[in-house]
Structure 1
Amino acid sequence: MTTPLDPVIAEIIPHLPLRDPATMTPQSARDALRALAAARAAVPPPPIRSVEDIEVKGAAGPLAARVYRVATGKSSTVVFFHGGGWVAGDLETHDRQARRLAIETGAVVVSVDYRRPPETRFPGAFEDAFAATRDVIARLGEFGGDAARVGVAGDSAGGNLAATAAIACRDEGIKLAAQLLVYPVTDVVGNYADAGENARFPSRAENAEGYFLSRAVMQWFAGHYLAEAKQAADWRVSPLRAKSLAGLAPAIVCTAWFDPLRDEGEAYAKALEAAGVPTRYHQGLGLIHGYFGLGDASETARLEAERARAEFKALLDRGV
C-alpha cells in the first residue's frame, strides 16, 4: 500500500505558487518563487562558515554564482543547479538548499545562476551548466581542492542540468565522483502534451494536478525552454534519450511519489543501473515535487532529503 500524502505537506500545497499556467508569465513565475523564499525570512537560514558571491564562466560570458563553505582545508566540491522549470529560480530561492547541501556533505558548494528562457532558450542553460562545471574544476584550488571528489547536483530543472552536465563531462573525459539528481526532468519528448508519450509515464496522469507541480505547468516550462518541440529528443534536454549512459558518475536519484515527474525519474535511475552506473533510487513516498525545500515544515521531507544528502556525501568521500 502506497504511503498517503504527508498531512503537513497537504496543508502547504494550497499556499504554493506556479499552479496556473493560463495566467503565468516568466516574470510572475520568478517573482512568485522569490516571494516564497522571502516569506521565510523570519526563520534564520542554517548557519554556515562563509557565503561568498562570485562569478564563474558560462557559455557566453560570466555567470553569477555563490560559494558555501563549512570549513577550511581540502574538501569535496559540488556544482549545484537550482530548479524552477529552467525559467524561474535563482541563487536566492535555493539558498537554504545550497546551505544544507554544504552542511550535510562537508563540501564546498558552488551554486550557479545559469541563463534562463525565454530570454535564452535551449541549449543555453545546458551549455552554461557544463561551462560552469568545467570552470569550477579548472579553478578547483579556489574551492575544495580535491580533483577526486567533485560532484554535480540539482533539483527539478536543476537536476536535469546536473544529469546532462554529467554526461557532457563523461564525453570530455572529466571524472566526477557523484551526481545528486532530485526529482529531475529526464524526458521532455512530447513536451508533456502528447498523449502517447505521457502514457509511457503513468505518474503524468496520476499526478497531473493537485500536488503543486502539474503536468500543465511542465508543458508551460518546456514550451518556454525549447524553441522547437523537436529539440526535446536531444539528450541535452532529455538525458533518458542519450545513446549511452555507461561510464557516468555514481548517482543518487530522488523522486516524489505525488509528482508528475516521478516515473521519468525512476526510468532514468533504472537506465543508469542497466548501463552499469552505481545508482541509489528513492521514491519519496508521501511527498511532492519540491520537498527538498520543505524540510523545515515536514519531518518526512527533512528525513528523506537528509538520507539522500548522506548517500551523496558517501559517494563524494569515496572519490573517483
Structure 2
Amino acid sequence: MPSPRLAELTAYLKATPITGTTPAELRASFAASMLVTPAPSEARLEPTACEVPSYFITPPDTDPRRVILYLHGGGYIIGSAETHLELVYRFARASGTRALSVDYRLVPEHPFPACREDALAAYRWLLAQDIAPARIVIAGDSAGGGLTLSTLLGIRDAGLPTPAGGVLFSPWLDFTGSGEAMKTNAGRDPMIDPAFMGMMVSLILQGQDPVKSSPLFEDLRGLPPLLVQAGSAEVLLDDSSRLVEKVKAAGGEATLQVWEDMPHVFQVFPTFLPEANEAIERAGTFVRARLG
C-alpha cells in the first residue's frame, strides 16, 4: 500500500501545474512549486571554481574525497541546483559523500546537448581536483537521469577514467516516446502529461533527430554499474526498464528498483512520502558500496 499522503501530493501537483509562456516564467513557476518540500536548514550550496556553475553540498560527517556529481531534472528547460537542494542533500547524506550539483546550460537559450558538454567539464574538473574516478558516482533525475547516461557514454567515448557508478532516478532516455507506459500510465502520473511531451521534445531538439539524440538507443557497452529507480505509475517507466535490459544485454551491470504506485521522480518529495526516503536510502547504500 502506498503512503496515505500520496493522494495529498497528487492533489497538490494537479492544483499547482508549472505555468508560463517564457523559459524564465516556467523556471520561476517550477522553483515556487518546489518550495512545498524545503531543504533542511543546514543544507547549503557552496560555490566552486569549476568553469561550469557548480556547487558543493556537504552534509556533516561525510567524506569530502567521495563525490556524487549530480545533474538535476527539469526537462532540460527548467530546474537548478537550488530547486534540487533537498533531494541532493539527503542523497549525499545517505551516501556518506558530498555532492557537486551542476547548473548546466538549459534550452532553448543553449542548444542541446550543451548540457552534456557542461557535465563532462564538471567531471574533468573533479578529476583535476585529485578526486579519484573510483570515488565518483554520477547521478541525476528525469532529464538529469538521461543526462547522466549521456555523460557516462561521453566519458567512455572520450577515453576518460570511468567513474564508480551511476544512479538514475526516473530517467528520461527516449525522445521518441515509444515506451508502452506512455499510454498505459497516461492519467496515472501527476508529474507528466504525455500530451505535452512532443512539444517539449521539439523545444529541446530544435529539429535534431530524436532517435540519435536519445541515449537509450546508443551503444551501452562499457558503462559502470548502474542503479535505476522508478515508480510503477510513471509514463516513463519503460525508459528505466528498457535501459536495464539493454545494459545487461551489452554485458554490463544494472539494477532496477520500482516503487508501486509512485509517480515520476517521487524521490523529490521526501517530506510527503516515506517511499521517497526509502528510495534515497537505498540509493545511498548503492553509492556506499560502489565507493568502498
Q: Distance in 2 between matches of 1:73 and 1:295?
A: 23
Offset of residue 256 of structure 1: 1.4
Name the SS of the counterpart of 2:48 in structure 1. strand
- Name 1:203's counterpart in structure 2: 181
- Name 1:310's counterpart in structure 2: 285
> Following superposition, which runs of at least 4 residues in structure 1 exceed 6 angstroms of deviation?
none
Name the SS of the counterpart of 2:46 in structure 1. strand
Whether 2:96 is the aligned partner of 1:96: answer no
Offset of residue 309 of structure 1: 2.5
- Name 1:232's counterpart in structure 2: 210
Whether 2:120 is the aligned partner of 1:130: answer yes
- Name 2:135's counterpart in structure 1: 149
- Name 2:32's counterpart in structure 1: 35
Offset of residue 210 of structure 1: 4.4
Q: Distance in 1 between matches of 2:272 and 2:133?
A: 36
2:56 aligned partner, one-letter code: V
- Name 1:176's counterpart in structure 2: 163
Q: Distance in 2 between matches of 1:301 and 1:39?
A: 15
Offset of residue 108 of structure 1: 2.1
Question: Which shows bigger deviation, 104-113 or 122-131?
Answer: 122-131
Q: Distance in 2 between matches of 1:274 and 1:152?
A: 22
Q: How does 1:47-62 map to 2 (within 5 A)?
A: 47=42, 51-57=45-51
Q: Distance in 2 between matches of 1:148 and 1:106?
A: 15
Question: Given that residues 54 and 100 in structure 2 are in contact (C-alpha distance below 8 angstroms), is that contact kept between their aligned partners in structure 1?
Answer: yes
Q: Work out the number of aligned pairs and report it.
A: 288
Q: Distance in 1 between matches of 2:123 and 2:172?
A: 19
- Name 2:110's counterpart in structure 1: 120
Whether 2:259 is the aligned partner of 1:284: answer yes
Whether 2:65 is the aligned partner of 1:75: answer yes
Name the SS of the counterpart of 1:283 in structure 2. strand
Offset of residue 6 of structure 1: 4.5
Q: Percent identity?
A: 28
Offset of residue 272 of structure 1: 0.9
Name the SS of the counterpart of 1:37 in structure 2. helix
Offset of residue 97 of structure 1: 1.1
1:204 aligned partner, one-letter code: M
- Name 1:165's counterpart in structure 2: 151
- Name 1:15's counterpart in structure 2: 12
Q: Distance in 1 between matches of 2:230 and 2:158?
A: 28
2:129 aligned partner, one-letter code: R
Question: Given that residues 95 and 287 in structure 2 are in contact (C-alpha distance below 8 angstroms), is that contact kept between their aligned partners in structure 1?
Answer: yes
**Which runs of no fewer than 5 residues in structure 2 stay unpaired?**
none
Q: Distance in 2 between matches of 1:129 and 1:225?
A: 17
Offset of residue 74 of structure 1: 5.4
Cα offsets for 1:35-68 (capped at 9, x unmatched): 0233445xx61635x64122423xxxxx221101
**Which runs of no fewer than 5 residues in structure 1 stay unpaired?**
58-62, 193-197
Whether 2:271 is the aligned partner of 1:274: answer no
Name the SS of the counterpart of 1:286 in structure 2. coil
1:146 aligned partner, one-letter code: A
Quickly say closer, same or farther: Cα 1:20–1:210, change in 2 above 3 A. Answer: farther
TM-score, with structure 1 as normaliser: 0.83
Q: Distance in 2 between matches of 1:120 and 1:104?
A: 33
